[in-house]
Amino acid sequence: MAFETTRRLAGIAAVAATILLGGCSQRDGAALAPGEYTVQMPGGKVWYKIVGGGPGAPLVILHGGPGAPSYYLKPFEALADERAVIFYDQLGAGRSEHTSDTTRWTIPHFVAELDSLRRVLGLWDFHLMGHSWGTMLAAEYAFTHPDSIKSLIFASPALSTARWLADADSLVKTLPRSLQQAIARNEARSTFDAPEYQAAVGAFYERFLSRKLPWSADIDSTFNQLNTDLYGYMWGPSEFTATGTLRDFDATGSLELLQVPALFTTGEFDEALPATVRYYASLMPGSEVAVIAGAAHLTMQDNPEENIRVVREFLYRIDHQKQ
């Protein structure tokens, strides 16, 4: 297994030693005043936003990409009538400071960054949701910092790159032959900027990324501020081709170690195929699965009503379960 537990612990501990913010830790969510903020982290300032409040345990949401800022996650603000909802842009994405220092573009760095933010906000019993690449980060965080997590939500998960690519290949084969040929031709030449390749990528995204057309302003903002250097370095040139540092990622061998309630969600037409998501859930006995009707990868954009309902009901049950 590429990311075995001992390597996780050693790598993340080394980064945490330099990234944790001494002296700013708070307890009991004392820093959860609604608003937009920045906090200095190694590498630059990180932007975060707190929405709402209420008796429910806070929810922290991790965006996808890597490098795709959190604009597209805005529909989850609907949950803020019951709890504080915290969004943030990881270093290098969106409203957070950008850097070309690739030593910051690592799983250990982003895990330690999340833990620093948790400590700044005084979160000691919170729900953690990751979407897409954010599920990799959520899993890695939970493997090394399990004590503060009340539940996990894996939204359209990417917990095995090999499985993701196999599923993506099956989806590419559903495209018109001309688009399949354009993809194959340009990937063989590494001409990823070619107009015909980009057109094929666009067609793939309109089927399997977000089907609700025209795309919302929040999706447009996410793409306009996507850090393509970060995305390319860690992932690759497109959703269906991985050439970056995450190409060997596989968390499936350790999912059974996560002893917290978990919800897995996916869209009916998601890149994260429902069959694959059910497989991931089977590795965590007792976890729940929800398939969002009519939605592709951006379930919260394609069918926000059903997506919000599913997440809301799960969080409510966990908050009110008997200890």
**Catalytic residue positions?**
132, 270, 297
Q: Do β-strands 149-155 and 126-131 pair in parallel, antiparallel, or remain unpaired?
A: parallel
Residue environment code for 13-42, b if the CB has 16+ CB neighbours within 10 A, otherwise e: eebbeebbeeeeeeeebebbeeeeeebebb
Show the tokens assigned to 135: 């599920």
**How much is the CA Rg of the chain, to the nearest whole Å?**
19
Round to whole Å and give the CA distance between 281 and 273. Answer: 12
> Residue 176 — φ and ψ, nearest 5°?
-55, 150
Kindly give, in sequence order, each residue whose CB lies less than 8 Å from that of residue 107, ignoring residues fewer than 6 positions away. 3, 11, 12, 136, 137, 140
Angle between helices 177-189 and 195-208 (to 10 degrees): 130
Place of tokens 């980009």: 198
Q: How far apart are the first and last CA of the chain?
A: 35
Dihedral sign for Cα atoms in the order 92, 95, 96, 97: positive
Q: How many C-beta neighbours within 10 Å does residue 214 have?
A: 7
Q: Are 136 and 251 in contact (CB under 8 A)?
A: yes
